[in-house]
């Protein structure tokens, strides 16, 4: 059974947590003890019905304020698929948290309040989803019940969204009118919107094809750990452990080790102490090479003659996530898989206006939640792809060396 990772994003009070609660509740994915606890908490809030948003708003501070603060992860399974949900905050000041959810998601649900239409946060969340390579968007026009289930309102929002999203590099956008609080078109089809002939949200999530989004052409294996037991039984054992982030490796493949540029051949591929003939993206394996090569954590193994950038000069799009602004000349740590190198900000090329998609040049400071294109210089070379060509190997984070805070999510 395959797995779909998706996130929800939208403005405050658009109903993200209620939508996920409804999805879990109507698909019978809530255990009896949790349901009992939520019913009790709902009475404490003087709710007339069960408050489904409490299924994801797990922090006490969130419940007191009635908002989502942190990224809440929920897991459920249907007969057709497994799911991991990231319920992300709607407040502008928590936009950086949405980046956390987007970085590992296959699909994004963008909620729009039918009463308000598209807002700046709608655009911001859509841009971030596109920026982090999410190729499947579901635009849920929520609270359609408050607009008397109007087809006209739904179509106007769809037309408006299509107008600005056509500039994005997203291959699949689906539009669904829903009422999360009443359950219309979430799991069960609504009887109040006969004009809508598409799938319900759950039907779409169960059938959307995401396997083709993975890159199986460009084999990339960042080394996480060098295994040298040095025991009498395993005296000559030397294995390189890690996760294949893209592509396929086979026994006998001629490979290159970067950044050193050494060429060798795969002798064995090991999984759970058993040798296999081939391994592919997302598998954690141990690779053995024919020659004893000087390899360290952070080095990259890839097939010979497979094009990749080995460089110290990077031009990346970033979402700034820290209260302290980014300025030209600032220095950070760059983390790319297992590799950690020092990096300096050489220039801020432009910032992206989330309303117009225009580039604002000349501003050399980037503040929290802003999206910008910057130039970086690393202390040593890294092996990296463009994000458009290889999502798994085209992204990295910047870390404050003093506080160890993640300050930016970046894509090449």
E strand spans, 28-88: 72-77, 82-87
- Among the ranges 77-86, 113-122, 152-161, 348-357, which has the highest mean pLDDT value? 152-161
Distance between CA atoms of residues 62 and 196, nearest Å: 34
CATH placement of domain 3-213: 3.40.50.300
Look at 100 and 307; give whichever has higher pLDDT. Answer: 307
Distance between CA atoms of residues 129 and 99, nearest Å: 8
Q: Quickly state the pLDDT bin for 40 (edges 50, 70, 90).
A: low
pLDDT tens across 322-380, in order? Answer: 889 999 999 999 999 999 999 999 999 999 876 667 889 988 999 988 889 999 999 99
pLDDT tens across 243-272, in order? Answer: 999 999 999 999 999 988 899 999 999 998
| CA 108 to chain centroid | 9
Contact 376, 405 (CB under 8 A): no
For domain 309-411, give its CATH number from 3.30.565.10, 2.40.30.10, 3.90.650.10, 3.40.50.980: 2.40.30.10
pLDDT tens across 278-335, in order? Answer: 999 889 999 999 988 889 999 999 999 898 999 999 999 998 988 899 999 999 999 9
Q: For residue 345, how many other CB atoms are within 10 A of its CB?
A: 21
The answer to whether 220-303 and 309-411 have equal CATH topology is: yes
In 3D space, the residue among 361, 367, 55, 393 whose CA is nearest the CA of residue 246 turns out to be 393
In 3D space, the residue among 217, 407, 218 whose CA is nearest the CA of residue 318 turns out to be 407
Residue 5 dihedral angles phi and psi, to the nearest 5°:
-100, 125
pLDDT tens across 104-144, in order? Answer: 788 999 999 999 999 888 888 888 888 778 889 999 999 99
For residue 269, CA distances in Å to 231, 253, 255, 292 come to: 21, 11, 13, 15
CATH placement of domain 220-303: 2.40.30.10
Where do the domains of the chain lie? 3-213, 220-303, 309-411
pTM (two decimals): 0.79
Q: Which H/E stretch holds residue 294?
A: none
The mean pLDDT value for 16-38 works out to 71
DSSP states of 219-260: -EEEEEEEE----STTTT--EEEEE--BSEEETT-EEEEETT
The residues facing 378 across adjacent strands are 343
Q: What pLDDT is stored for residue 35 in this prediction? A: 59
For residue 66, CA distances in Å to 14, 32, 58, 119 come to: 12, 24, 11, 21
Kindly give, in sequence order, each residue whose CB lies less than 8 Å from that of residue 107, ignoring residues fewer than 6 positions away.
4, 5, 6, 7, 134, 136, 137, 138, 205, 208, 210
* CA-based max dimension of the chain: 76
Whether a cis peptide bond, with omega within 30° of 0, leads into 151 is no
Please return the burial class of 205, using the count of CB atoms within 10 Å of its CB with bins 0-12, 13-18 and 19+: buried
């Amino acid at each position: 059974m395959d797995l779909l990772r998706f996130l929800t994003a939208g403005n405050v009070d658009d109903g993200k947590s209620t939508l996920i609660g409804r999805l879990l509740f109507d698909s019978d994915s809530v255990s009896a003890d949790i349901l009992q606890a939520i019913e009790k908490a709902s009475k404490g809030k003087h709710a007339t019905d069960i408050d489904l948003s409490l299924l994801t708003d797990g922090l006490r501070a969130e419940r007191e304020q009635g908002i989502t603060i942190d990224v809440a992860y929920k897991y459920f399974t249907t007969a057709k698929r497994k799911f991991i949900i990231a319920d992300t905050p709607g407040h502008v000041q928590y936009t950086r948290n949405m980046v956390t959810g987007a970085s590992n998601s296959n699909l994004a649900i963008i909620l729009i309040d039918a009463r308000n239409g598209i807002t700046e946060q709608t655009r911001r969340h859509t841009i971030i989803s596109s920026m982090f390579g999410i190729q499947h968007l579901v635009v849920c026009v929520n609270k359609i019940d408050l607009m008397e289930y109007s087809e006209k309102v739904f179509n106007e929002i769809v037309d408006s969204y299509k107008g600005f999203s056509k500039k994005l590099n997203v291959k699949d956008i689906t539009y669904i009118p829903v009422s999360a609080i009443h359950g219309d078109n979430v799991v069960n089809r609504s009887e109040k919107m006969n004009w809508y002939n598409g799938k319900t949200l759950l039907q779409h999530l169960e059938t959307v094809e995401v396997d083709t989004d993975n890159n199986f052409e460009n084999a990339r294996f960042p080394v996480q750990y060098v295994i040298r037991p040095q025991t009498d039984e395993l005296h000559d054992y030397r294995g390189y452990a890690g996760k294949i982030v893209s592509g396929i490796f086979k026994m006998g493949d001629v490979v290159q080790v970067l950044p050193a540029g050494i060429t060798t051949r795969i002798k064995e591929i090991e999984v759970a102490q058993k040798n296999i003939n081939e391994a592919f993206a997302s598998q954690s394996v141990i690779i053995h090479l024919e020659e004893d090569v000087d390899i360290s954590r952070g080095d990259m193994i890839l097939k010979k003659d497979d094009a990749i950038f080995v460089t110290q000069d990077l031009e990346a799009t970033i979402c700034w996530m820290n209260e302290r602004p980014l300025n030209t000349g600032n220095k950070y740590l760059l983390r790319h898989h297992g590799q950690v190198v020092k990096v300096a900000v050489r220039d801020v090329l432009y910032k992206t206006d989330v309303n117009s998609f225009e580039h604002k040049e000349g501003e050399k400071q980037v503040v929290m939640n802003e999206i910008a294109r910057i130039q970086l210089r690393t202390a040593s070379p890294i092996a990296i792809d463009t994000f458009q060509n290889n999502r798994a190997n085209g992204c990295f984070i910047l870390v404050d060396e003093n506080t160890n805070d993640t300050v930016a999510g970046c894509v090449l």
